[in-house]
Amino acid sequence: MTEKRKHKSNKLKFAMRVLLVILGGVIAAYGLETVLIPNDVSDGGVTGLSIVGAQLFDFPLGILIAVLNIPFIWLGYKQIGKTFAILSIIGIASLAIGTSMMHHTPAIIEGDTLLVTVVGGIILGFGMGLALRNGGALDGIDMLAVLLSRKLPFGTSDIILFLNIFVFIFVSTVFGLQGAILSAIAYFIASKVIHIVEVGLSGSKTFQIITTQPALMVETIRDRLGRSATYKEVYGGFSHEKFREITCVINRMEETKLKEIINEIDPDCFVTVYDVSEVKGGNFRKKDIH
């Protein structure tokens, strides 16, 4: 019975992910068809190439989005897995169908280039981020970048930026230099919104602190922030001196307070800070500090 319930629960979770990926595709399509495209602003990646192709050859945008993404879906299947490929097919299909259904929908903003790039970028980024957060993708260029980063001495983000330079040069042939610049701005805004949707507005950060007063530091963090911390022994590469490194995970709103504590106790300590996209397990809940 327990196994059946678990299986049913997994099915419901996957169904919810599918619905959210579809919703993400529809939202992205709405941003394209009612804000960006009517104002001669494009997107980056495969979607940007599809928009230019649709303008040049008077071909349905939805069909181009679906066809041009096929090789990238195959890459996603080979490099990331079957579930990702299935969810990406669903997401790209919902984007393609959404653009076809909304093609004659009146633009909600016209003329104001700044407003167009901001609103369009936010709507597009929210839709793409929603799909990515639930395990799918709406554009294949990210999958290509992951594959190339394994074969070239560059990071994924660097390769995505490099590939999109050629996309926006191509965009300029149809929408002109101003259209290409506005498209790049909208793409930049969308990428930031994608990050927020994936990580969340609060997010988390990991602080790693090497201090001469580790016990006092941990006690103060616990008393004033309600956060726990862990120790590990580290050794100086030059002095070979042994230290106790403190690791503490906090949310972004607590970052300033923790920096104040660090500066108050040991302003000369060595601190490294990392962004954390997700925290699970353990006891991440705050303790009562009142």
pLDDT score of 153: 78
Options 3.40.1190.20, 3.10.580.10, 3.40.50.1970, 3.30.70.120; CATH for 202-274 is 3.30.70.120
Q: Is the pLDDT of residue 289 over 80?
A: no
pLDDT in tens, 261-285: 999 999 999 999 988 766 766 655 5
Kindly list the strands in the beta sheet with 230-235, ordered across the sheet, starting from the edge strand earlier in the chain.
230-235, 242-251, 204-210, 270-276
pLDDT score of 209: 94
Percentage of the residues of the chain whose pLDDT score is greater than 70: 91
Residue type, 25: G
Phi, psi of 118 (to 5 degrees): -70, -55
pLDDT score of 290: 46
Residue type, 57: F
The chain-wide mean pLDDT, for the chain, equals 86
> Which long-range contacts (C-beta less than 8 Å, at least 24 apart) are formed by 282-287?
283/228, 284/249, 286/225, 286/226, 286/227, 287/222, 287/226, 287/227, 287/228
Residue type, 52: V
Within the chain, all domains assigned CATH 3.30.70.120 are found at: 202-274
Query: SS3 of 208, please?
Result: strand
Q: In this predicted model, which residue has the larger pLDDT, 21 or 81? A: 21
Q: Please, where are the H alpha helices in 58-202?
A: 61-68, 70-79, 82-101, 113-133, 141-149, 156-199
Q: Is the pLDDT of residue 247 over 80?
A: yes
Q: Is the pLDDT of residue 170 over 60?
A: yes
pLDDT in tens, 188-220: 998 888 878 876 655 678 999 999 899 999 999
Token couple for 51: 């928009």
Residue type, 116: V
